[in-house]
Structure 1
Amino acid sequence: MRNFTFIIVIIICFTNSVNAQLVIGNPSLGFTQACAGPSFNTYNVTFTFTPPAALSPSNQFIIELSDATGSFASATTVFTSAAGAVITSPATLAFSLPQTTGGEAYRVRVKSTSPVATSGSSVAFAAYYKIQDSPFSINNLISTAQYCSGSSYLLTIDNPGTGTNDSPLKYPSLTFNWYKETSPTTSVFVASGSSLAVSEPGVYFVKTNYGSCTSDSYSNRVTVSMSTSGVTTSINSSLGNPYCAGDGATTLSCISGNSYQWFKNGTAITGATNQSYVTNEAGNYSVNVNLGSCSASGSIDLENNDITSSIDVSETNTIIDGESLIATVSTDAVSPDFKWYFNDGLIPEATSNSYEASVEGNYKVVITQTSGCAVSDEFLYSLTINEPFPDVAEIPNLISPNNDGINDTWIIPQAYVKDTNTEVVIMNSRGEVVFRTNNYLNNWPENPIDFKNINPVYYYIITTQNNTTKKGSITVVK
């Protein structure tokens, strides 16, 4: 009786063990290759499992991605379902590729957590995450290059690239394949790497290695030739030529070599000994490149899209109280915008090319080109207001410049002062001209006078617009 009971227990345990086993079929792919990127990265796999009753309520299904050779020795989990979310067979789950994915022989498999089971692997498939999928530059966008006979020329991917170029070198997981054109529409693979030493003439370019996935991640073409003498090269401006000064400095670049020397207008630029040179000034730039057994030279007449403007007032201006000063700007800017400022504060209503000022202070106008290249010009000027000239009846022959506010300067009748086109000449006792103007402001003497032991005497000649002349002397006392 005891042996019979023992046999029944064994049968029950065996039956429960069989019922607890879960078999997961090999996953089938809902795609032929996985060419992922920032705009799309969702791929479906379908699998079967039996018996569904074996699943625990806490079970989770996991999708694992192999390495690029199909090995699961260091598999990557790319999807995990919620506990108890998948209970019917067949099931379809979606996963996304890691950004470091790149190869032609990836596989996936499915695992369960309760009970623990693992499927076989899927068929192999190409998978790439195209983290960079736009054209990029090599050789600083210089389309031609030459190498010395018996030597080679090094083509490199620009890093960080020219201008806004999205250099693929910023992404360490990427690899690159170089090609040589065999016709305008065909090419042959040459080598892999971020650079290529060229020793055979031809047209070369490089593509980011996304295998069988199509991609826009490719470079410009460079025509490489051999030279037995001096090499002529071109210089590239990162902002173009002419360049927009409003965008900041431009970077001048040349072909690669052993050493470099840059020149501006024929004069060597101190310290400019790299493959590129940054400048915000127009001019004629040239470079000498040491290629080893021969040398290269190139030049560029760099221009910018600056505007030319002028203003019809001086940096310092003086008017009489009650008068005003009109400043007018001329410019060749396209669709110019004018902003006027008084003591660094914007004058909101001043938006034309002229402004009438009647308040003493500092003024500024900023002219901005609003179409095409965004560049600006500015002018600063000041305005001083003097009290109206007093109207005296006679030309005085005595002044006392002692800063007491009385008779400090030579005040003459209004008929001879500012805006009357009268010439005023003052000479010392030796006949030397010490002051001359056609726009007298009742402001002589402007500088201190050395009295020594006597009161100096000066002589004046006033010549009016109709050639009437007044002459006399001026005694200066303390």
Structure 2
Amino acid sequence: MKPNLINAFLLMILSLMALGTTGISAQTLNRPTAADNPNLSGNSVWTAACGSAGFNEYYVNFTWLPTVAVDNEFILELSDANGMFTTATELSRVSDKNTDFDFEFNFALPENTRGDAYRFRVRSTKPAKTSPPSLPFEMYYIDFNTTINIRELGDTAPTPAKQVKLCGGGSTTLEVYNVPNAETYRYNWYRNTSPYTVSGYGPSIEVTEGGFYVVELDYGTTCSGSSNTQSLSMEVQIGTSVGLALNPPVKTVLCTGETVAPLEANMNYPDLFYTWFKDGNMVQGSTQGAYTYAIDTNDAQFSGDYTVRIQGDGICTETSNPVTITQAGMFSVSRDNPANMVLLPGQTTTLSVTSDSTPVSYQWYKDNLALNGETARTLVANSVGVYYAEVSLSGGSCPMATISSETTTLVYPNAFEFTIDYATDYTDCINTSIAMEISRINAVLSDGSKLDVTTDLKASFAYQWTKDGVNVGGATSNNISLINTGENGIYTLVGSLDGFNPVSNALPVRLLTNEMLAITSNATIICGTGDTATISTSTDLSGATFRWSKDGLEILDTSEVLTVSEPGTYQLTVEKNGCDLKSNQLVITPFDDSLIILNPQTEDILFPEGSSREVSVTGANSYQWFDENKVLLGDTDSVTLSLEGTYTIIATINDCQVSKTFTVSYQDTFGVPNVITANGDGFNDQWVLPNTYTKDPAIHVIIYNQKGEEVLNQFQYKNNWPEATMKFPKQNMVFYYTIKNAKQTLKKGTITVIR
């Protein structure tokens, strides 16, 4: 049996044990995990998905606990590239696994999958549950896996050059030109094999430095290596400027429609390639010999900064300084009324335009026909149609110029349509207040089409809000605010204007009561088997529908005061007006004696005879210190000791107690001996160290002979060298010792053995 399946069955058994024989545990969906592909040899559990037209088959394992309805479906969903499920993608759906607690989903990567943080989750439909998300995965669908071609922007030759000479201090743009929908990909650019991110990760980069440039599609850390998209290199050399400039034009201030001489580069060579730009945007692609450019003054947008770039053999790529061309006699016309307006039967409306220049004249048009005598800035319209005004400017350096205003469409409505919406984000039983408002007013025309007239008529209607079909007293504006659960219901908005009485769509409101539900416990720590804690609330639960939960799962206990004997996170939910009001989460933890910390943190405490040492403790509510005769020494969080012996601290946390014992010894005052007489007379036969070095388990003692060979290597030295069985061939033998604490040498010296 698979480990995941074993875990699923264990969870199921534990849940059934908790419920006895009265029911089945609530459904649990576990996070999906990557699984091996049974159609591939060996164990092929994937860690990153690199799909393509040649291979796109993956599996994830999913385990769950009963129970679900017989017509339940399990749905495998994929997040977006950032791991968010706001717009989750369905990958697979199964309806025949409702008794299979451990199975695999098979899926293929969608062709738009590109990112490093995709996650999976599984949803069930009956009941509606969602699993925790999986760990993030790098996932890419490799839909382009051929060599990328790059060129200098503007080089449109069938075989673009692979070398660019750039004038010092100038710049040029390298671009990808054989990748469909190139802007939808992320790219890795390199200069001389090093990442080049100065201009970002798009399909083009601006370069100012010499070097060899290459690019590849960014398919992530794992998948990029298998896509084989890296381009051939483009060499950029730095050359010397040839002094490119635009010859000063005769005129730089031009009138609309004026015929003028073209702009001209000062380097007019027919074998060079010229690219023309206006305001940095290309207006004429790279063309051999095109060293002039004709400005079309009939184009309303002809004014701007013009530059030219040259390319060709023997010269470096260079862009000229700009020449600014402006438009004379420029003026603007603005429409003062909305683009779409409703004209009610028998009514008129006033249209108007405004110009920022004088003197100007006006001529109004309706349905493209001039209206006789309508030559003022305003027009009183009394029929439906499409209206605009021609505004003409006379005088100045240019002949008369004419600009048409934007159009205004007037229509008769057959009816009006109201749409209301929540003014802010709203979720049933989450919000404790909400405002609703008119969000759109449509005029419904005779052909069934609709015209948005919200801005025009919002202030013209009279309003009445209704709740469950009954008028709400005083609610006669275009919005309404609700702040308590007594206002829950179904709302509509009725309007009134000149015989039209539109009724809006209906919006339900179910607010959560704006009150606090708090639970407390007489203890937050359970000491051990048989210990309990009591959880209660000050809220009156009599007659209420409520439920207790532990670690997110409902407890089948209907007591108003809950007695618990297991650690966990507990919560109370009370139904209020059809909504679940949840309490704070109360964490009951098992007792952990590691919370009680002695300082110093050692079982053997040393200090010189005649002095004293303070010992303190943290982590409990109360303390008692005892000596080895069970005499109480104190009940605070510290005690000062001056005598050797064995001591005990008893610490209490709530009803839990922990006892810790430690010893106190006087620190030896003698030094490290350098002579011993290993003659077996029982006196000075062994090398004895002060307990400063023997009590601490971190102290490391090493003894070497005259050849540098270790004869003892011991932590927490036992004062047992040399052993009685050791033989010394010479009368006076010298040994060397080192005493260390971690990497620090505390002491070193010699030991002379006299036998």
Query: What TM bracket, shorter-length normalisation?
Result: 0.3 to 0.5
Q: TM-score, normalised by structure 2?
A: 0.28
Relative contact order: is structure 1 or structure 2 higher (C-alpha 8 Å, sep ≥ 6)?
1
Q: TM-score, normalised by structure 1?
A: 0.43
